[in-house]
Amino acid sequence: MQQAYLNGLNERQKEAVEHIKGPLMIIAGAGSGKTKVLTSRIAHLMHSGVDSFNILALTFTNKAAAEMKERVEKALGNTEARNLYIGTFHSVFARILRAEASKLGYPQSFTIYDTDDSRSVLKQVINDMGLDDKLYKPNIVHNRISAAKNALVGPAEYAMDNFLKQEDARSNRPQIAEIYASYVARCFKSGAMDFDDLLFKMHELLRDFPEVLHKYQHKFKYILIDEYQDTNPVQYQIAKLLAAVHENLCVVGDDAQSIYSFRGATIENILQFQKDYDDVKLVKLEQNYRSSKSIIEVANHVIKNNKGQIPKELWTDNDEGDKIKLVRTMTDNDEGKFVADAIQENKLRNHFLNSEFAILYRTNAQSRSFEESLRRAGVAYKIYGGLSFYQRKEVKDFIAYLRIIANTKDEEGLKRIINYPARGIGKTTVEKCLVIASEQNITFFEVLEKAKAFGFKAGTLTAIEEFVTMIKYFQNQLTKHNAYDVAVQVGKHTNIVKELFNDKSTEGLARYENVQELLNSIKEWTESPSNEDGEQGDKSLGAYLQQITLITDSDNDNGNEDTVKLMTVHAAKGLEFSCVFVVGLEETLFPSGMSVNTREELEEERRLFYVAVTRAKKHLWLSYANSRYRFGQLVQNDPSRFIDEMPEEMLDKSSAGGGARNQSSSGWGSAYDRMHGGNTRGWTEPKQKSSSPSTASKPSYLPVTPPSTLNKNHIPSENFVAADPSQLEAGMKIEHQKFGFGVIKEIEGSAHNPIALILFDKNGEKKIMLNYAKLSIIP
C-alpha cells in the first residue's frame, strides 16, 4: 500500500525519499522538486517509525524552514511535525548555544552582534591599536575574520598560518591576526557572539565537550541539510560531528546554484561528502517541473561555460514556451519604465496577478528605478532585502535597552543608549569609562556601577547613577513581568515613545510607528503559545532578542500579498515566479566588476545568472541599459557577457523607451527594434578575445550619448546653461535638466548649501540642492 506522500513522485525522487539509513546525497537541479522530496522524506521517516523529536533539518532561511514544516504537517495530517527541529543553521545553533552557553563561558542571554555591531567593535580595536583605519578598513578586516571563522581558523591558528600571513603582508595589512585576537576577546568580554560565532562556537562546543556532543548525537538521529552547495567548512564539520554515530545524514544541493562562496561556502563540501562516507547513496534529480523548455535550454546553454560542474543535464516535459525576451534600453530609468509597462501589459493580456512577477537584480541599489516606475504605474510591489526592520536606527536603539537589560556586558548596546535620549553622558565620559574598563579589566557597565570610585564630575555622576538605577529597575521588573510589559516600561521611563510621538515630521512619524510596531511584535511573540521554531516555553527577553537578530526581511513575508516582488538574485534562491525580469545585465554590474578577476569568481557570477534564469516558470525577460547612474554619475556599460553566451535563436530582441518620442513602441520586434537589438552584438568579437584579466577588466570608452536622450521626462533645451547658485533668487523661472520648467518659490539652507523650493510645471514641488542640481535661468 502506498502512502499519500509518495504519490506524484518520479522514480528518482521516490528513491531519495525511501532511502532511510545511511548517508544520502541528492543532487537536485533547479526546479526538480527538491523541497517536495525533502518534505516527503521527512514524512516517510516519521511514517517508518522515526520519532519526530529525532529529526533535524537545516535550511538557509527561516522561510524555507517554515515552509518545510508546514508541508510536512500537511503531508502527515497530524501535529507531530511540531516536534521537528527545523530551522536555519544560525537559529538552531543559537538555540543550542543558549542552552549550553555557560560551558563556553558565555551568559545564557548572550547578545548576538549583527554586522553593524561587529564593525563597530572592529573600528574600536583598530583605533585602540593605533592602526591606520584607511588601510585597515573595518569592512575588509571583518571579511577576513569572517572567512577565517568559517574555515575553522581561530585567532591562534590565524597567527601561525603562513599563507594567511603572506596574504596579509601582501595587502599591507600584517596585523590582522592581532586585530582578530583582540576582536574575539572584546566580543567575549561583552558576552556577545557575532553571526560567524554561532557556527564557530557551536563547533567548539561539540568538539570540546564530549557529553554535549553525545547528547545531541543521540537527539538528532536523522539530519537533513538543504542547499548543501552553500554550506561552508564549519557547517559541514558540525553536521559531521552530529551525524558521527548514526550516519543518517542527507544533503540536498545543486553545484550549479552555489552562490555564497563570499560567505565561505565551498562546493568542496560536495566532493568531501563522498570521501568522508564510503557508502554514500547518490541520487540525481534532473527533471525540471518548473520552467518552459526555452528557459531550461537557455539556462543549460549558459552554465555549460563553467568548467567544473558535476555532469548533469536538466530537462523538462513542459511546453516549449515563449522565446526569452531580451530588451535594451537607454538608461536605468527607461529600464524601470519598460518593466512597469511590460508588467501592466501582461497582466491585461494573460490575467497574471502582481504576485506572479519578480524583478531580480544583482545589487540592492538597483531597486530604485523599478520602485519609481511601479509606483507611477500604480502597481503594488514589495522590495525585499536592504536593511531589515530590526536594523533601523530607532528600532535598534530601543532594542539596545532590552539588550542591556538582558545582558549588561553588551558594550555595543550600552554605547548606543548611554546617552539616548540625551542625559548628559557625552563622548568624553564614555571614552573615560572605556579606558577605565580596559585598565581595570571590568565591563563598561561595571564602571558605571562603581562610578563613585572613579572621580566623575558631580553632574555626570548623578546622570550615571540615575541611568544605572533605571537599568536595574528594569531588570528587577523582568523577574515579575514578561518581556512585553518591561518593553512598555522602557518606552515610558526613558521618554523615548513620548519624544518620538512629539516629533511630527514625516520621518518622526515613521520612527514612532516603527517603535510601536516593535512593541507589537514583542507582544505578539510573548503571547504566542509556542514560538516559531517549535521550542516550548522560552519566552524570556533573552530568547526574543536572540531570535530577532536572525530574522531577515524575506522571512516576514506572509506570501499572501498580491505584489510584484523586487529582490536580489541571491534573495530569490529557492523561489519561483511565472514571470521573471532579470535586469541590469551589464558588464561591471552583472557580472559584478568585483568578480571578474579570477575564473572562480566569474563562474560564480555565471551560476548566479543561472539561478536568476531558472526562477522563471513561463516568461523570462532579460534587460540592460546603455547607461545608468552610479554614484550620481552617468556611466556607460557594455552588455553583459552572459547575453552573448545564450543561443541567439532563443532570443527575442527589442529595445524600449529611450527616445522621448515613441513611448508607445516598447515594441515587440519591429524591424527598427530588431536592427538595434542586433547591433548590440557588435562587440562580441573583441570581448571574447579579452579573456585575459588585464584587458577584461578595463573599462571601455564608448562615445558618450548626448544628454538630450537621457531623460524622457524632460529634454533640456538646446541653449541650456547651468547658472551659478548665487545668481538664483526666489520668483525666477528656471529649467531643470530632469524635472523641466518651474518657478523658484523660496531659497533656504545656508549660503554654502542653498536649497531651493521649486514648483515645477510637470513634477510638482521639489526641494533642490543647488550645489548639485544644474538649473538654467529662463529670462
Binding site for DNA (CB under 7 A): 60-61, 88-91, 115, 133-134, 137, 139, 195-196, 259-260, 262-263, 362-365, 385, 419, 422, 424-429, 460, 550, 552, 554, 567-568, 570-571, 592-595, 629-632, 750, 752-753, 769, 772-773
C-alpha pair distances (Å), 713 with each of 132, 661, 732, 737, 776: 46, 11, 22, 9, 17
159 vs 163: CA distance, rounded Å: 10
Question: How far apart are CB 142 and DNA at their closest, in Å?
Answer: 9
Helices (H), 77-209: 89-100, 115-128, 138-150, 155-160, 162-170, 176-189, 195-208
The amino acid sitting at 283 is V
Question: How far apart are CB 52 and DNA at their closest, in Å?
Answer: 23
Question: How far apart are CB 139 and DNA at their closest, in Å?
Answer: 6
Question: How far apart are CB 599 and DNA at their closest, in Å?
Answer: 15
Question: How far apart are CB 478 and DNA at their closest, in Å?
Answer: 27
In terms of Cβ atoms closer than 10 Å to its own Cβ (0-12, 13-18, 19+), residue 322 is: middle
CB 739 within 8 A of CB 727: no
At 625, is the secondary structure helix, strand, or coil?
strand
Question: How far apart are CB 707 and DNA at their closest, in Å?
Answer: 12
> Pseudo-torsion of CA 231, 236, 242, 245, nearest 10°?
130
Question: How far apart are CB 608 and DNA at their closest, in Å?
Answer: 7
At 54, is the secondary structure helix, strand, or coil?
helix
- Shorter beta-carbon distance to DNA: residue 413 or 677: 413
- Shorter beta-carbon distance to DNA: residue 482 or 737: 737
Give the number of other CB atoms < 10 A from CB of residue 629.
Answer: 16
- Shorter beta-carbon distance to DNA: residue 375 or 630: 630
Question: How far apart are CB 15 and DNA at their closest, in Å?
Answer: 31
Sign of the torsion angle spanned by Cα atoms 100, 101, 107, 112: negative
- Shorter beta-carbon distance to DNA: residue 361 or 484: 361
Positions annotated as catalytic residues are: 34-35, 226-227, 257, 615
- Shorter beta-carbon distance to DNA: residue 455 or 779: 455
Q: Residue by residue, what is the 3-state secondary structure of 282-349? A: EEEECEECCCCHHHHHHHHHHHCCCCCCCCCCCEECCCCCCCEEEEEEEEHHHHHHHHHHHHHHHHHH
At 263, is the secondary structure helix, strand, or coil?
helix
DSSP H or E segment with residue 357:
strand 357-361
C-alpha pair distances (Å), 112 with each of 102, 554, 778: 15, 20, 58
At 429, is the secondary structure helix, strand, or coil?
helix
C-alpha pair distances (Å), 737 with each of 694, 715, 742: 38, 7, 11
Helices (H), 559-617: 599-613
Radius of gyration of the chain (CA): 29
DSSP 176-236: HHHHHHHHHHHHHHTTEEEHHHHHHHHHHHHHH-HHHHHHHHHH-SEEEESSGGG--HHHH
CB 514 within 8 A of CB 498: no
At 8, is the secondary structure helix, strand, or coil?
coil
Question: How far apart are CB 694 and DNA at their closest, in Å?
Answer: 19
